[in-house]
Structure 1
Amino acid sequence: MSFLTPLFFVALAGLAIPVLIHLIQREKKQVVRFPSLMFVQRIPYRSVRRRRIHNWLLLMVRMAALALIVAAFARPFLERDEVTAAAGEGAREVVVLLDRSYSLGYADRWERARAAAYDAINGLGGGDRGSVVLFDSGAEIALRSAAAGERQPLTAAVAAAGGPTAAATRYAPALKVAGSILAESPLPRREVILISDFQRAGWRGEEGAQLPAGTTVTPVPITTGGEVANAAVTGVSFARSTFSSQERVAVTAVVVNRGTRPLAGGQLALEIGGRAIQTERLEVDANSSTSITFAPVTLTAEPMRGTVRAGADALAADNVFHFVLTPAQPVRVLVLDRAGGGGNALYLMRALAIGEAPRFEAIVRPPAAVSDDDLRRVSAVLVNDVEVPAALGRRLQKFVEGGGGLFVVLGPRATWSAEVDVLPASLQAPVDRTRGDAARVGALEYTHPVFEPFRSPRSGDFAAARIYGYRAVTPTQDAQVLARFDGGAPALLERRIGTGRVLLWTSTLDLAWSDFPLKPVYLPFVHRAMRHLAAYSEPAPWLTVGQVLEASFGSGRAQPASGVVLTPSGRRVGVGVDEEGAEVLELAEQGFYELRNRAGDAVTAVVASNVDTAESDLTPMDPKEIVAAATRDDGGRAAASAAPPTPEAQERSQRLWWYLLCVGILLLAADTLISNRLSEA
């Protein structure tokens, strides 16, 4: 034991002063003269030169109390070596973290990892307790805090792990789970045995993965020597074309050889619907990549399941890449124009006809001829400077509330009923800019999806368009102004209604009030506006294991979400509900998922799930990096570093003075009780 302020022990010498005074003090003789001694009793004189202590217990209590108080002020603490020696004598709480990511499927790594886990379990002492945690991108407690005397459940938990999963490696979730187990343990010693191949891609230096103070981390690296080839299909791309009115897709696959030996004489096959339709020769140098393009495939009306498969090697999981080919789905647009005036929408119709990614299908109707079936078939409605009666306005409002998009183009003839609250602004009188300088469009909101492609230099100049007239408007409180004219008047506004959107362009999109249709930005502007209103997004041809899939994937705007999912292994699983109430499912397998209707008898969508190709990079990291990060305290200091903590830090963490002071005060209280009892006697 050591002391921060040992000079306080000088005060212990003061404990002897009252005792010495009591022992050496001589009683002074005092002579009292009496006139007569015949009535005074004679008592023999006792010398007080040498006095004796009569109550040793009381003296010891007082001296011990004062000594403890003095020792408390000296701030005692136990040296770190003493604490370690004391802790080393106790039982251990051991957590075995077993990596089961798909990279452990490389060669014989999984068998060696399980053997290391069995060795760790067999090494538990009689008083130890053990836990088994399996981890990949997440962590799962296979068995929690089992007694070492019952090794069979621990070994059974390792055996039940089966084999590597399709997920990637993430160390932070496993360390957090281990920390929660160790924090609840009453045992004096804590240890984490981390069994992994320690891939560099699995560690991102995550915060919050610190273990409780005093925890020992023992890494067990699982590596494989020798020079081998490791080919991985990291992705595919598609080139669409049309031949004889049929859509065709040419698939190009990218293959990376992450091994240290060239790959020669291999094969790369393209499978459609589970049947190989083309095979190409595959040769890749060590630590290099190549791309191979297959012959075009004619698409069908239904989604087509595709797979690119490389030959077998030491890591099979990354040799396969799945995808889904679907015909390009057009964006259907309903254009409302005046009856008999097809020329008014000439530029709009030509702009929509040019679109290829996506393709637009536009139909033109006068306001009086719009049916409910028309609204059900389209994703967006474009109202081109026409009068909208109240009945049609209410139907369009319902259409937008259900997720549709509405693009309103104002001109001299555009009117809306005041009973319908759907526009992002109230309409005012036209503004004539034919005299003097024409208005220019500026102050664009480049962060909005409509204008985002135009934010880079030389990507389009909206100010080049001359606007000779526009409608003055008063924006509503919930409207967003996306563009303004040079005078500050709103040019484009947006408003959300329910789950849909409304865009309002305050001028015309023909040559009546501007030369905007003649400018290069006109075509991409119309396309971006309609894509945004239709909420169009390219269907994902594949997802990655670990991603969350919404059960409404592949469903139309009015279709209900699926309730049953068929996994690649053939299991039927239900979907969960997230915090926002959406039905979701986390992808955990490699292959094709089938989303079915609630009855389970019809497939509504097919989703391809692939492994994270970053996991196929087997480049290892130094396990000490994880150990150092996991054993750091909140101040960023390494708890397991070679430099011992300062005496002040050790004393502050142990607080032994507080206990000594409390015991000293209790002894003083006992002294008071003993003194009172003796005085009464």
Structure 2
Amino acid sequence: MSLLAPFYFLGAAAIGLPILFHLVRRRPKQRMAFSSLMFLRPAPPRLTRRSRLDDLLLLLMRALAILLVAAAFTRPFFRSAASTQWEPPGRDLLILVDTSASMRQAGVWDDVLETVEQTLEDLKPQDRVGLMSFDRQPTTLVDVAIAADELSHADAVVAAMKTLQPTWYDSDLGLALATAADQLNGLGGEQARLSRKVIVLVSDLQSGSRLDMLQSYPWPPDVRLRIEPTTPADSGNASVTVLEPTEEPETPGVEPDPQRRVRVFNSPLSTAAQFTLHWVDAKDQPLDTASVSANVPPGEMRVFRMPTQPADAVAVQLVGDAQDFDNRSYVSAPEPVNKRLLFLGDSSAEPRERLSYYLQQASFDTALQTIQFEKLSPDAAELETLSVNEVALVVVAEPYSNAAAERLDDLLRAGGRVLCVLSEPVQASSDAQRLINRLTTGDTSSADEDVDENEDDDERKRAIRIREADERDYSLLVDIDFRDPLFSIFADPRFSDFSKIRVWSHRTVEVDASSDWQTLARFDDGAPALLRLDVGDGQLLLLTTGWQPTASQLALSTKFLPLIARMMDPTAGESKPRTQYTVGDPLQDAWRAFSTWQGPDGRVETIRPTATDMTDWFATPGLYHFAGDGLQQTVAFNIDARESETQPIDADKLETMGIRLSSHELTDEQLAEQKRQMRDVELEENQQWWRWLVLSALGLLLTESWWAGWRARRLG
């Protein structure tokens, strides 16, 4: 027999009360007449040494009643042998191993292997185990619910760990934890219902890992997280990052700063503060350039300027840090491309009255491209084979030709840029109107004909009409849209004054108010000066005056070169080409124009225009060389800067996001004791021996009362 509340048996000590009452000398019940009590003192009953008890049976009944009541309060029950046998339920363990770039710290991966090995050794026969790795994406290597062929779960985990190595990707801890919790919570079957579900996280818990997913993720109540942190040999870390070139103001004649800026970050746990920066070549050899001394206190970030990049330099190396996985930042300068500025037209014999004269004398070369000026006939067959990649801008002027419109149509819709200049009086502008309408709508009607009413409504809205403006001494450019990328370079008050440019003659262009034509600048008489229309993937620009001295002072002003240069830039100078990317970034659309690329390890891949499976193409930091169709480009890939933030996060931060930690979980011994107590309560509630004990005590008390009364009457 077992007792559910054995401490209540202390109440059995009350058995001494009946004995005490039986030993107390009581006040006599009979009264006798006495002459006077004034000289006597009252005396209470007191114990006396008696040699025997008067009524043993009555005493035994009272004592036994007290024992039965005390036994009832202890809630006794009988425990069978089967009820004492209990084994703790099995566990479903999912080992979640961090393989991001920060796990390349010295000593960390060895710690990972030891932790996984110890976890497998602690498994019990009824446990199941799985393995999942994660960096920017989680990957299931061993499924908890699916047994491996000819291998136990533990052996499958061991085999998978032999093939696992840290990658160069960044870390998304939030996504990995949510995926692992969903996998455990979704396990089916009776074993999964009874088992304890535990995620064993093996990670350095670096603070740069993303946790966004956990902000809105409802953590399953049956899943626990056990954290097994890994410790590097040196807790400090410093990193270097080459910054993209700054957006310097585009002023003609001002060259960009050749020095590159680098950012050095030093971990708060670092013990070092003095570092050295220098350029290295493709063979990791330092170059004979001046090094830069960098003093960065722990927990701070500072920016330094490097010497001009040598021609054979590929990266900036940081020296003085114990953790070298992020001590190199690769850099590539955009390679200049050769492009053509084509001019169609010019009927004037006087050189200074030709539009092409001013384009030919100007230089539009930049660090990113070399512009070669060429003058072609409007009927040149070469216009039919022009490529968007080789042509920066096509300028069309008098005399206008329908043949030129037909040849330029494909180039314009494929992404080319065409500038039509109305530099001649309106008497000769009917050809210009036909050419522009041909490029925008396919309409070939003359200046005196109405637009075909059977045309599509959108095409009718794009059609224009050109007439000569009213005669004036001169006109000025006003109402310029400085918010547009084409004119944003002049938005600064120092460059926004166009009042010194006088226009002697211009044309008036009539467009539908609901059309897609954009008016970027107007004359002071309200007539449009510069218009733009998107045609396919390209742009058609229309300038309603010329820049030769007989038409305007535009070619002689400081605004001419920047304006034409902006017209040749497909983004109008608003975006700079990126030269640095993060490891794991996808293939950019601009790179599909190349046919092959070669990685830093010498691997060569063919780029298919419709390729989609490219998840592991850029998995290693270094320089990637693209080539094809006579073009070349070098792009630098580096690890994510967040991987350098190696100081660990506090586990309490995960708990505040709703994650249930296994540190609050009962041990097997505690769980076994809890289960035993629950079974004892269940057995006691089923048997309820206390009821019989209470009934027995009540019956005994009734018998005791009857016996005491009967004996008192007999003695009396």
**Superposition TM-score, scaled by structure 1 size:** 0.65
1:541 alignment counterpart: 579
1:107 alignment counterpart: 106
- The alpha carbon displacement at 1:137 in A equals 1.8
Query: Contact conserved, 1:542 with 1:607, CA < 8 A, in 2?
Result: yes
- The alpha carbon displacement at 1:330 in A equals 4.6
Query: Contact conserved, 1:248 with 1:296, CA < 8 A, in 2?
Result: no
Counterpart CA distance in 1 for 2:539 and 2:284 is 42
Query: Contact conserved, 1:405 with 1:533, CA < 8 A, in 2?
Result: no
1:153 alignment counterpart: 156
Residue 471 of structure 2 is aligned to residue 472 of structure 1: no
Residue 325 of structure 2 is aligned to residue 308 of structure 1: no
- The alpha carbon displacement at 1:396 in A equals 1.0
1:184 alignment counterpart: 186
SS of residue in 1 equivalent to 2:407: helix
- 1:184 maps to amino acid: G
1:591 alignment counterpart: 622
Counterpart CA distance in 2 for 1:482 and 1:89 is 79
Residue 356 of structure 2 is aligned to residue 353 of structure 1: no
CA distance change for structure 1 residues 443 and 551 in 2, over 3 Å: closer, same or farther?
closer
1:450 alignment counterpart: 486
- The alpha carbon displacement at 1:603 in A equals 9.7
Moved more, 449-458 or 387-396: 449-458
- The alpha carbon displacement at 1:151 in A equals 0.8
Residue 411 of structure 2 is aligned to residue 399 of structure 1: yes
- The alpha carbon displacement at 1:102 in A equals 1.3
Q: Deviations over 1:342-384 (max 9, x none)?
A: 4232685278425535555242425447451794584133335
CA distance change for structure 1 residues 305 and 603 in 2, over 3 Å: closer, same or farther?
farther
| Pairing partner for 1:568 from 590, 595, 600 | 600
Query: Contact conserved, 1:471 with 1:507, CA < 8 A, in 2?
Result: no
CA distance change for structure 1 residues 561 and 375 in 2, over 3 Å: closer, same or farther?
closer
Query: Contact conserved, 2:598 with 2:604, CA < 8 A, in 1?
Result: yes
| Pairing partner for 1:422 from 436, 439, 442 | 439
Residue 434 of structure 2 is aligned to residue 410 of structure 1: no
Query: Contact conserved, 1:347 with 1:517, CA < 8 A, in 2?
Result: no
1:664 alignment counterpart: none
CA distance change for structure 1 residues 399 and 384 in 2, over 3 Å: closer, same or farther?
closer
- The alpha carbon displacement at 1:122 in A equals 4.0
* Structure 2 counterparts to residues 647-662 of structure 1, below 5 A: none
CA distance change for structure 1 residues 586 and 361 in 2, over 3 Å: closer, same or farther?
same
Query: Contact conserved, 2:276 with 2:292, CA < 8 A, in 1?
Result: yes
* Structure 2 counterparts to residues 373-392 of structure 1, below 5 A: 375-376=386-387, 378-392=390-404
CA distance change for structure 1 residues 523 and 641 in 2, over 3 Å: closer, same or farther?
farther
* Structure 2 counterparts to residues 252-331 of structure 1, below 5 A: 252=260, 254=262, 256=264, 258-259=266-267, 260-262=270-272, 264=274, 266=276, 268-271=278-281, 276-278=286-288, 280-281=290-291, 283-285=293-295, 286-287=297-298, 289=302, 291=304, 293-294=306-307, 297=310, 306-311=314-319, 313-325=321-333, 327-331=335-339
Query: Contact conserved, 1:94 with 1:193, CA < 8 A, in 2?
Result: yes
CA distance change for structure 1 residues 196 and 280 in 2, over 3 Å: closer, same or farther?
farther
- 2:240 maps to amino acid: V
Moved more, 345-354 or 604-613: 345-354
Counterpart CA distance in 2 for 1:577 and 1:215 is 45
SS of residue in 2 equivalent to 1:294: coil
Residue 646 of structure 2 is aligned to residue 618 of structure 1: yes
Residue 469 of structure 2 is aligned to residue 432 of structure 1: yes
Counterpart CA distance in 2 for 1:154 and 1:315 is 29
Counterpart CA distance in 1 for 2:579 and 2:654 is 36
Higher percent of residues as strand: 1
Query: Contact conserved, 1:380 with 1:533, CA < 8 A, in 2?
Result: no
- 1:165 maps to amino acid: T
SS of residue in 2 equivalent to 1:380: strand
SS of residue in 1 equivalent to 2:288: strand
2:695 alignment counterpart: none
Query: Contact conserved, 2:97 with 2:201, CA < 8 A, in 1?
Result: yes
Query: Contact conserved, 2:275 with 2:319, CA < 8 A, in 1?
Result: no
1:628 alignment counterpart: 656
| Pairing partner for 2:545 from 507, 513, 528 | 507
Query: Contact conserved, 1:132 with 1:144, CA < 8 A, in 2?
Result: yes
Q: Deviations over 1:179-227 (max 9, x none)?
A: 4413421223433232222222222534554443433223333344767
- 2:618 maps to amino acid: L
Query: Contact conserved, 1:103 with 1:616, CA < 8 A, in 2?
Result: yes
Counterpart CA distance in 2 for 1:142 and 1:335 is 62
CA distance change for structure 1 residues 589 and 392 in 2, over 3 Å: closer, same or farther?
same
SS of residue in 2 equivalent to 1:202: coil
- The alpha carbon displacement at 1:444 in A equals 2.1
Counterpart CA distance in 2 for 1:479 and 1:628 is 53
1:648 alignment counterpart: none
Counterpart CA distance in 2 for 1:549 and 1:305 is 25
Q: Deviations over 1:122-169 (max 9, x none)?
A: 44444443332211122222222257963111232233212x211122
Counterpart CA distance in 2 for 1:135 and 1:371 is 57
CA distance change for structure 1 residues 443 and 417 in 2, over 3 Å: closer, same or farther?
closer
* Structure 2 counterparts to residues 115-194 of structure 1, below 5 A: 115-146=114-145, 150-162=153-165, 164-186=166-188, 187-188=192-193, 189-194=196-201
- The alpha carbon displacement at 1:597 in A equals 6.0
CA distance change for structure 1 residues 534 and 279 in 2, over 3 Å: closer, same or farther?
closer
Query: Contact conserved, 1:137 with 1:170, CA < 8 A, in 2?
Result: yes
SS of residue in 2 equivalent to 1:172: helix
SS of residue in 2 equivalent to 1:529: helix
Moved more, 255-264 or 606-615: 255-264
- The alpha carbon displacement at 1:565 in A equals 4.3
Query: Contact conserved, 1:410 with 1:507, CA < 8 A, in 2?
Result: yes
- 1:284 maps to amino acid: A
SS of residue in 2 equivalent to 1:278: coil
Counterpart CA distance in 2 for 1:489 and 1:383 is 22
- 1:548 maps to amino acid: P
CA distance change for structure 1 residues 263 and 520 in 2, over 3 Å: closer, same or farther?
same
Quote the RMSD (CA, aligned, Å): 4.4
* Structure 2 counterparts to residues 190-201 of structure 1, below 5 A: 190-201=197-208
Counterpart CA distance in 1 for 2:398 and 2:407 is 16
- 2:280 maps to amino acid: L
- The alpha carbon displacement at 1:589 in A equals 0.9
SS of residue in 1 equivalent to 2:570: helix
- 2:287 maps to amino acid: I
**Superposition TM-score, scaled by structure 2 size:** 0.62
Greater radius of gyration (CA): 2
CA distance change for structure 1 residues 161 and 225 in 2, over 3 Å: closer, same or farther?
closer
SS of residue in 1 equivalent to 2:481: coil
Counterpart CA distance in 1 for 2:235 and 2:91 is 40
CA distance change for structure 1 residues 383 and 507 in 2, over 3 Å: closer, same or farther?
same
Query: Contact conserved, 1:166 with 1:317, CA < 8 A, in 2?
Result: no
Unaligned runs of 5+ in 2: 1-86, 249-254, 442-461, 666-716
- The alpha carbon displacement at 1:251 in A equals 5.4
SS of residue in 2 equivalent to 1:338: coil
Unaligned runs of 5+ in 1: 1-87, 241-246, 299-303, 633-637, 643-681
Query: Contact conserved, 1:544 with 1:610, CA < 8 A, in 2?
Result: yes
SS of residue in 2 equivalent to 1:308: strand
